[in-house]
Amino acid sequence: YGRKLFNYLQGINGINVLAPHSPTHINLHAWDTVIDLAILKRIPFHSHIRVKNDLNSDHLPVILTLDTGSFPIYSPEHFSTNRENFRHILSFKPPPPCKITSNDDAENAVGCLSKILKEALAEASTQKFYDPPEKLPIGIRDKIHLRNYFRRQWQRTRDPEFRREFYRIKDEIAAETKQHLIQKRADQIASLTPDSRSLWRRSKLLRKPYSPIPPLRGETGHPALAPIEKAEVLADSLRKQFEPNTDPIFDNPIVSGKVHEVVESFANSPHINNLSSVTASEVYDFIKTLKPNKSPGLDQISNRMLKNLPLKFILYITFLMNVLMQNCYFPNCWKTAVVVPIPKPNSDLSLPQNYRPISLLSCLSKVFESVLLRRLNQFLDDNNIIISEQFGFRKKLSTNHQLVRVTELIHDGFEKSETTGALFLDIAKAFDKIWHDGLLLKLMRLGVSAQLIKILRSYLTSRNFQVRVNHIISSPRPILSGCAQGSLLSPTLFNIYVNDIPKTRSCHLAIFADDTAILTKHKDPHTIITRLQHYISQLQLWLTDWKIKVNPNKCACLLFSKKHYIPPLPNLHIFGQPVPRLHEYKYLRLHLDPKLSFNIHINNAIQKATIVST
């Protein structure tokens, strides 16, 4: 009857039959069987079924899980796309309508464009079929059958002898399977050749091992087991990361209210559209630079799709960008980030806070961001806005340049028999805690085009994120602060936000994005501490005004000197908390020590090289 039912259901469209992989009925006189099935039709949720072996009954319970409130994301690795067919199909499809008179029309146009591209992708794609996994050696398979036999006998009779045999054979299977897999991997590695790409593919896989997310402990205390449950727990944890700093020192509703009023008044005031128009060559040149293998955002429009667009769709995207610029509008459908949780090394992975978020944004939105960034950078360069001490995210500048500058400053002190004191700041969640109204106010004070500021205001507001676990995504959570991770605009906006950091004649700044060092030189170490503490007093006012939080216990003070003896010195204090004084600090991935000998850095490099070679 089971086969008849299955064959009958196979002829009905939309029917999905789920059955457990292990028996649900333990028969004392015949083979164990699966008598519990689930029949689903038009259920859009991800589902899975499993058997619970906790009861002594001959009929085991079955749990069917539906991940309600979620939907699976299209996985491009499961499909093969013919690029020529994709271009050919699009050549016969008309672009969306060009009549856009409101923001709602712009949203519809973006949605229609995405729909056309995804339909063409579906028509040009076929599902991949993978070879079945290699079978285990016959000896291991025989032991698996024997193990299953003893397990059934134990479930039927509860004879301890069957239980002992079951666990003995189970351990043998585990040991032999492990040895088989080790030998199999060794054979695969031996077959790799540097002339082909197989060596580099295998190297990449070994460097990035897959680590599944274990059950998570959420705020409710109940373990999150299903992918949707894990996604929701991670989303709740990350939501706090994208909220403004709420410490009492930042809580000044009067100042915040006035800044908000100024920004809103500016947003509602008339302006002149003085930004240069977007050209098709500008859009085309940027699309050519996109990396084809980057993961897409929620709309599933990938860089590879954009790189294979016919000319008429490039022209339509150009037209759409110009309309969005004229309307000072950033579409809402481009403001949702898909967050992929990456486990932090050497941490308890059952805690949601031990995952680092990686955001995936719409590839189409990045085309528009590139247009805005080009105009913003043009203004910053023409007016020499960004301070020279900032080396982060700037052309022809890198961490190496900043490190050379810092070490030369310290060596200059050595030559003059001076001690150099350095204060290294640790800003808490620097990019994620930026005060949006404060950023817009700074753009206004710099004299940035009103048209561009209003577009950036639209870009910053009403953003949200959804967490993805196993192709299942959580419900959306709002982003109330910070610059969008993965956005092209975020690094430059962050540089603008910290650009007015206090500067004094007696102290030198060394900044790379949020990695900040304050250095000062003098022959008297007490004078160094006095200067740094005086700078901290000015810095604290600036941090409070712009809602930037530092971690005093993660900041560090380090004295560089050729002297054999430095007298005891008072501690530096930030917001009343002492700053640790260290004898070694890692700044921009370089280990600095008081003599600037680099011994610690060299020894660490040798140790890493030794581990890799073995």
Query: Are both 548 and 608 inside the same structural domain?
Result: yes
- The pLDDT value recorded for residue 82 is 87
**How many domains would you assign to the chain?**
4
- The pLDDT value recorded for residue 102 is 92
Tell me the C-alpha distance between 545 and 221, whole Å.
Answer: 38
Single residue among 468, 495, 522 that ends a domain in this structure? 495
Residue 568's contacts (CB-CB under 8 Å, 6 or more residues apart) are: none
Query: Are both 290 and 439 inside the same structural domain?
Result: yes
In a domain, 478, yes or no: yes
In a domain, 86, yes or no: no
Single residue among 495, 524, 545 that ends a domain in this structure? 495
In a domain, 77, yes or no: no
- The pLDDT value recorded for residue 347 is 87
- The pLDDT value recorded for residue 304 is 94
In a domain, 103, yes or no: no
- The pLDDT value recorded for residue 346 is 83
- The pLDDT value recorded for residue 610 is 80
Crossing angle between the packed helical segments 490-497 and 436-446, to the nearest 10 degrees: 80
In a domain, 79, yes or no: no
Query: Are both 459 and 505 inside the same structural domain?
Result: no
| Number of residues that this document lists for the chain | 614
In a domain, 71, yes or no: no
Q: What count of other Cβ atoms lies within 10 Å of the Cβ of residue 300?
A: 19
Handedness of CA 578, 582, 588, 593 (dihedral sign): positive
In a domain, 109, yes or no: no
Query: Are both 342 and 446 inside the same structural domain?
Result: yes
pLDDT lower than 70: segments of the chain? 1-3, 6, 10-14, 28-31, 42-47, 53-56, 67-78, 127-133, 194-197, 204-211, 612-614
In a domain, 110, yes or no: no
Query: Are both 389 and 470 inside the same structural domain?
Result: yes
- How many Å from the N-terminal Cα to the C-terminal Cα in the chain? 59
Query: Are both 310 and 453 inside the same structural domain?
Result: yes
Query: Are both 368 and 414 inside the same structural domain?
Result: no
Query: Are both 307 and 453 inside the same structural domain?
Result: yes
Query: Are both 32 and 55 inside the same structural domain?
Result: yes
Domain that includes residue 11, residue range: 1-66
Query: Are both 168 and 238 inside the same structural domain?
Result: no
The CA–CA distances, whole Å, from 342 to 89, 209, 295, 345, 486 equal 37, 12, 15, 9, 15
